Amino acid sequence: MGRLAGLSARGPPERGHRRSSLLRHGLPRRPSRGRRRRPHLRGVSRRAPRLPALRDPDGRRVGRTPPALARGGDGVSAAHRRRRLRRLTGPTGRFAIVAVDHRDSLRRWLDPDDPDGVPDERLARAKVDVCLALSDLASGFMLDPEIGLPAVRETGALPRRAPIVLALEAQGYFTDPGEGTTLLEGWDVARARAEGATAVKLLVLVDPGSGEPTAQQAATVSSVVAQCRAENVPLVVEPLAPGVTAADRRRVTVTSAEALTALGADLAKLPFPVDPAVVTDREEWFEACRELDAASRVPWVLLSGGGDIATFAEELSVAGRAGCSGFAVGRALWGDAIGLPRPARRRRLREVVHTRLAWLVRVAERRCRPLA
């Protein structure tokens, strides 16, 4: 018993006693003090079989997210929508979108005296020519589903996977602005996505006095937002305040941007917040654009609104310093070419309009904020 003196009935020797030789020599030693290995069990796989990778709507591999969440969960949907939105930017992350989604306004542009007499075929040829001439510079095109999209698909003016924003609003809002905009009959976000749209655009009428959308217009936007989240397609909103005065323009533009982006859009297409013909102080331009940037809850691009290209380039430079992420330009870019006979139009698009677009792209790259 003497040799076991000092051993506790449970556990190691009591403090102050030397370890017994029985413990040192009477028990089998551990064969190795190296890293212990787990026993290998034959016939039992050490890891679960690999499952097929999930892929997003663009075919890119994503994490193992439940399919229901990948389609409907807003967190995952937001990531997918942002990825699709990036497809509409250029190599430096700025938007350089050419807008040719005009229908009623283009008819009036081509024939102010008889806009209803302008045939669809004339509009289609004009849209095709613009896309052919500018596709190497534009980061994306804004098209309508009725005339523009079928024309570029049929002629091959744009590749099938070219970044496209599809305008979903029906025409007729100029006739009765009080009615507001509605979706094109037979079109929704799911169909737009199936037709190859990268994003969808919705023009929304707002009150020219307050800048707020009507309850009906807000409901329309909310409905499209829900569709976009279900389909993982980004939404571009464009407020329009018919008849807004120069005195009210800044307040109305800021208010409408805040109200519409709060409803869940992914990108805002916004007008310059002051009338450059009335407000000539460039510092006031900048402050108005900073206020607009603070009001918008999402990235925004500057629309041209049909003004002259030199003024728009200056507006873009100021708006870019204030935080805008690029531009969506239409008639200010190609307006003086679109009504020419087709050979002359194509030549002017190649030689003049193409140079203008290159200029705007350089301004955006120097001044505008890239999409995060």
| 186 in any annotated domain | yes
Domain-located, residue 298: yes
- The tally of domains found in the chain comes to 1
Beta carbons of 368 and 94 less than 8 angstroms apart: yes
Shortest CA distance to 239 belongs to which of 311, 231, 265, 247? 265
pLDDT at 178: 58
CA–CA gap between residue 196 and residue 206 (Å, rounded): 29
Tell me if residue 303 falls in helix, strand or coil.
strand
Measured CA to CA, the distance from residue 152 to residue 170 in angstroms comes to 20
Is residue 82 included in any domain, yes or no?
yes
In a domain, 49, yes or no: no
Contact 76, 69 (CB under 8 A): yes
| d(C-alpha 102, C-alpha 115), whole Å | 13
Residue 25, in any domain of the structure: no
DSSP states along 80-122: HHHHHHHTTB-TTS-EEEEE---SHHHHHHH-SS-GGGS-HHH
pTM assigned to the model: 0.79
Count CB atoms within 10 A of the CB of residue 284.
14
The pLDDT value recorded for residue 173 is 56
**Is the distance from CB of 141 to CB of 162 less than 8 angstroms?**
yes
From first to last of its 372 residues, what are the pLDDT tens digits of the chain? 444 444 444 444 444 444 444 444 444 455 555 555 544 444 434 444 443 444 444 454 433 333 333 333 467 789 999 999 999 999 999 999 999 999 888 898 888 899 889 999 999 999 999 999 999 999 999 999 999 999 999 999 998 889 999 999 997 655 555 567 889 999 999 999 999 999 999 999 999 999 999 999 999 999 999 999 999 999 999 999 999 999 999 999 999 999 999 999 999 999 999 999 999 999 999 999 999 999 999 999 999 987 899 999 999 999 999 999 999 999 999 999 999 999 999 999 999 999 999 999 999 999 999 998
Dihedral sign for Cα atoms in the order 341, 347, 350, 351: negative
Domain of residue 310: give its range: 77-367
CA torsion 103-106-107-111 (nearest 10°) is 180
Structure confidence at residue 64 (pLDDT): 34
Q: What was the pLDDT predicted at 171?
A: 74
Q: What is the CATH number of the domain that holds 362?
A: 3.20.20.70
Provide the terminal-to-terminal Cα distance of the chain, rounded to the nearest Å.
78
Whether residue 165 is contained in a domain is answered as yes
Tell me how far apart the alpha carbons of residues 361 and 346 are, in angstroms, rounded to a whole number.
Answer: 21
Q: What is the pLDDT of residue 161?
A: 87
Q: Residue length, the chain?
A: 372
